[in-house]
Amino acid sequence: MTTNNSSHPVSLDELDQQYQSLLDGQSLVWQNQRDFSRCLGVGGQGVVYLSARQGADGFQIPVALKLFSPKRYADVTAYQSEMARLSQVAAQVARVQENHLVAVQNFVTRNQIYIMEMEWIDGYDLRSLLTPATFKQIREQVTSRRWRNINNNVFTKGVQQPRLKPGIAVAILRECLAALAALHRNEIIHCDMKPANIMLKRSGNAKIIDIGSAIDLNNLPSTQPCTPTYAAPEVLSGGRATPQSDLASLGYILIEVITGFQPFANLKYAQLIKAKQNILQQLPQWFPAEEFALSEPLMKLIHRLVHPDPTERFPSAEAADLGEDGAAEFHRLLVKSDLPSDYENELRLWIEEVETDYFEDVQLNSDPDTTVFTTREWQEEGQDQ
């Protein structure tokens, strides 16, 4: 809302009359303008910009705008139909109001292009944070004593990329589970869980972002968007997404951030399905007991997130957090073992040590794990490689 200042001074009585007129009208109309400050990201569905909502007398708050590209759709009708469906999903998500889920603020169209307005989150996504460049940058700017503390409690060197300490990784997992639980209670499936869609705020808390691929179980789309690297095997095989497929995606992320390598990178369609169907046999190699404290309870948690049979996974996001073999149980075992447990504060301090200017210079604007619209589409692309 912008101010509507008049060059002519008015009396208090006249202002009161204007106030009463607004109340009597029971409606407000004002002009909206959103200038694009900078690009926050580019993906398979479109582009996200940082913008601002302007108000009276210098009021301004940052917002994120996602512009949905029509390029991948067969025709205008298909684009408009999908956007109409997504508009309804966005409205449902906007009413959820969960602290660890991005807040959707509006869904509009300009020049027949659809735009979602969301809260801007002051922080960094997991994909950007867990890179060798970030590891090197933080090492160069902190003291040796602080660096040892970071390596012992937050993140350290991994096989391909920096890896999080299990306690920190599970703390992030639990906040993501809270967001998924809220979505699932409203029969919404996120469908695109991946490191780039998990933000760490400067407060040390995690937030799930980008509901552009989300589906309403009561209004299923004709196609199923997903990011193949992190999609559950049943989704890759053409099945519908479920709460359990969201849990599997979160489990794959957990494996990656704790081990520091991407087990499904660069695999083609058939290889990817097979790897995920055989994942339980691979876990002991990825989590050797001599390297990971409390590896057995950690394995139980991961098993029940990524089991190839959806019926063997946790029955819900709440159960994955608070139930038997869940994330909360793993955290309690860490506390009993006198291992560090001030996860939120450790994450907050770590985020503070990330140089904003550095990140804005090096952060990629494109997501390497691109969302595709159907598994068939991705399979056909893979066959051409």
Q: What is the mean pLDDT of residues 21-26?
A: 92
**Which tens digits make up the pLDDT trace of 302-347?**
999 999 999 999 999 999 999 999 999 999 988 887 776 788 899 9
Q: Using an 8 Å Cβ cutoff, are 96 and 178 in contact?
A: no
pLDDT band at 385; cut points 50, 70, 90: very low
Look at residue 374 and tell me whether its pLDDT is greater than 70: no
> In the predicted model, what is the mean pLDDT of the chain?
88
Query: What is the pLDDT at residue 89?
Result: 97
Residue 300 backbone dihedrals phi, psi, to 5 degrees: -60, -45
Task: Kindly list the distances between the CA atom of residue 94 and the CA atoms of 81, 103, 182, 293, in Å, as whole numbers in the listed order.
Answer: 20, 6, 12, 40
Q: What is the mean pLDDT of residues 122-149?
A: 92
Query: What is the pLDDT at residue 223?
Result: 81
Q: Residue 18: what residue type? A: Q
- Please, where in the chain does CATH 1.10.510.10 lie? 123-383
**Which tens digits make up the pLDDT trace of 204-233?**
999 999 999 999 999 998 888 889 999 999
- Please, where in the chain does CATH 3.30.200.20 lie? 38-119
Q: Using an 8 Å Cβ cutoff, are 374 and 224 in contact?
A: yes
Coarse DSSP helix, strand, coil percentages of the chain, rounded to the nearest 5 percent: 45, 15, 35
What's the pTM value of the predicted model, to 2 decimals?
Answer: 0.89
Q: Which two tokens stand for residue 31?
A: 């002009």
Residue partners of 254: CB distance under 8 A and separation at least 6: 169, 170, 173, 301, 302, 305
Q: DSSP code of 372?
A: B
Size of the chain, expressed as the number of residues it contains: 385
Query: What is the pLDDT at residue 2?
Result: 47
Please list the alpha-helical segments (H only) found in 243-316. 243-259, 269-277, 279-286, 295-306
pLDDT band at 1; cut points 50, 70, 90: very low
123-383 has which CATH code?
A: 1.10.510.10
Decide yes or no: CATH 1.10.760.10 for domain 38-119. Answer: no
Interatomic CA distance for residues 368 and 46, integer angstroms? 14
**Which tens digits make up the pLDDT trace of 355-369?**
655 555 544 444 556
